[in-house]
Structure 1
Amino acid sequence: MKPPRRPEGGDEPSRGAPRNGAGTASADALDRLLDEVERAPWAYDYFALLRRVEACCPELPRLGRARRPRQEPLRLAQEPELDFAPAALARLDRRAGAPRLGVRFLGLLGPQGPMPLHLTEYVRERLRQHGDAAPMRFLDVFHHRMLLLFYRTWAQSQPVVQADRPGEDRYAAWIESLAGLGVAAGAAVEASAVPAAALRFQAGFVGARSAHAERLEKAVGHYFGVGARVQPFVPGVLELPREACSRLGHARNRPERARQPPSRLGVSANAGSRVPDRQHRFRLHLGPLTLPHYESFLPGGDAWPALQQWVRLLAGTDKAWDLCLHLRGDELPAPRLGARVRLGLTSWLGRGDARERSDLRLVPHPSRRAAPPRGASDG
């Protein structure tokens, strides 16, 4: 004789177990929840209870998507009663097989069901007077599937329920697509210095077409929990290409220079290859900061790569910028040898005072500013 064939995925778990194929932690959490429901089922909302059951079973498919009964932690049934339901849930039966949750708000029977009322009387009589549960269990085959699909329909429209399982969060993909962080940029978002959840939270700012100072101030200030202010029109210089520099003896009669306007003294002529500019640079002020927070924004700190990514996303890559950190006066470190002070970054000579320090300017490397807006984090 051949030994009995095992079901796919291993031995068939006990139908009376509180959790089929679950780990110890999941089984314990589900047991505690079902114990509470068994004592007072009427105190629970149908949708809230099934959401908690799903949360206790992260290793199983979502309710309403399982392909086999053993992948479902409980069975749903209707209680055949003739009165109007005082509560959505009636009882939880755990005496045999999988836990069976009886509901009153939806089903084929009862005063609110589509079936004739005498069928409810018949099914109830067979169950209560003769102990014959066959008619009710036959109808529960349809009730179970209908109730699970009813819950699944509700859950798919709830962003909070979708977030219970980040790997299956449909709202996350939708929001990322609206912000320009959809499928094409999915890998870059996952590898970025800023968590994907933080980018989704600021989707309104990230997806906006206009790059204004307010969105950078609010997004950076909220993400890092510090005061943020953008100073526009910071003086700077622009490097001119060779063909744009003013030259003596410029001949317009040469074919290669025919379309170039002549340099006019005081108007378009300039000396050298650099010109002053106030249109293409801004300064981001952060603070007042504590010393640990101040150090996190320095090159090599935890917050420095994330800050550069926020600026690229919200200000674009066509503008130069620098960072001004404001250190609180009472956080000023003493310049002592061996105290892990960094020359030029966290060290000041003198006795110090209580005034705020904001004399440090950090300029990101041009290659960092030119990195793709949806790219990975900076090194």
Structure 2
Amino acid sequence: MSRPSKAIIDLAALRHNYATARRIHGGRVLATLKANAYGHGSVACAKALEPMADGLAVAFLEEALALRRADVSSPILILEGCFSAAELKEAHAQGCWVVVHHEAQLRALEEAAQPVRDMNVWLKLDSGMGRAGFPVEHAQAAYARLHACPQVGAVTLMSHLASADEPDKDQTARQLAAFDAATAGLPGPQSLANSAGLLAWPAARRDWARPGILLFGADPMPGGQHGLKPVMTLQSEVFAVRELRAGQSLGYGGRFVADAPCRVGLVAVGYADGYPRSVADGTPVAIDGLRSRIIGRVSMDMLTVDLTALPHAGIGSVVELWGASVSVHEVAMAAGTIAYELLCHVQRVPREHVGLDADRPATARGIRQTREDCL
């Protein structure tokens, strides 16, 4: 019997979330699939979205090449841009769109020997995040230099929002104002909205949106009620049961001490699989659909859960670490981190992609159902 841990990826939910983003945004939407689609399997997610998506976005060239090798033909935007002239040449050969966000990238583009004026370039401006992008006061000059490049056919103006998921802050409004002032009079499409910007800031909904986390059903807005569906269910099973006496400790460091007789289930998943070691006792799980809690410190390959109030649970009981019953946000809060990190860190467990054309197996659709640890 194989280890019973897996990440179930609901591709129908992914498509639903993309359609929701498209409806709310109103304009075109790039599905951001960087970091192996936030841990969900980039090839399977790209193939599921390709019939409906306006395009895809990844972090760097190798992520784009992995999709091209899998026969994904959609437009792909490379968000970090290219790191060398050779990469720029390869990105152009693969029909990718590239972001240009600093002087060295702009010079490489100016010096590139591409005779055909067909490169799609996204000019990134730093409107207030302070990370990547040309200063807004250089926007007009950088735009003019791009248009002077004989190989550039289209320029999209973009920026990235730093605090769109904090609607009480005024930083997003200031960023939007700075971007608009810097790009006044410059023709061409614009792109500002990440997931939170798309959901919460109508003024950020320009020609293109670039949602990431919302596609996977993790609403980035506090108390978000946008109808998103969780895409990943991290699941395992109880594989052994122990009885603790009152006063007996459990696990590394003896952090949990039973205050009464306690039934403990050992679950075949741990921090090497991507479940965070830092969660406290009491972090929720669902066992056979009923909520319970983690007790004891998470180990590399297993964790322990409280079965005391679930007398019918035992060996073989299904344990949901996050999914429809336990929000990944709940687990992230218990771990002192964000849902993005938890999803991206899922590893070692096989991914099972379901929910697309339920009458045919995924293998018949060219979608890999087993582990996709590598790009």
Which TM-score bucket, shorter chain as reference? Answer: under 0.3
Structure with higher RCO (Cα < 8 A, 6+ apart):
2
Per the normalisation by structure 2, the TM-score is 0.20
Q: Which is strand-richer, 1 or 2? A: 2
Is the helix fraction higher in 1 or 2?
A: 1
- Return the index of the structure with the highest Cα Rg: 1
Normalising by structure 1, report the TM-score.
Answer: 0.20
